Amino acid sequence: KQEVTQIPAALSVPEGENLVLNCSFTDSAIYNLQWFRQDPGKGLTSLLLIQSSQREQTSGRLNASLDKSSGRSTLYIAASQPGDSATYLCASDGSTNDYKLSFGAGTTVTVRA
The span from the CA of 87 to the CA of 45, in Å, is: 11
Beta carbon nearer to another protein, 45 or 110: 45
Q: How far apart are CA 93 and CA 42, in angstroms?
A: 23
Contact 92, 102 (CB under 8 A): yes
Write down the least CB distance from residue 106 to another protein, Å: 7
Q: Least CB distance from residue 86 to another protein, whole Å?
A: 14
- Nearer of residues 3 and 17 to another protein, judged by Cβ: 3
| Residue 45 CB, nearest approach to another protein (Å) | 7
Of the two residues 11 and 49, which places its CB atom closer to another protein in the complex?
A: 49
Instruction: Residue 24: name the closest of 77, 86, 76, 68 by CA.
Output: 68
* Interface residues toward another protein, by CB under 8 A: 1, 4, 9, 31-32, 34, 36, 41-46, 49, 51, 89, 91, 97, 99-106
Regarding beta strands 56-59 and 32-38, do their DSSP bridges make them parallel or antiparallel, or are they unpaired?
A: unpaired
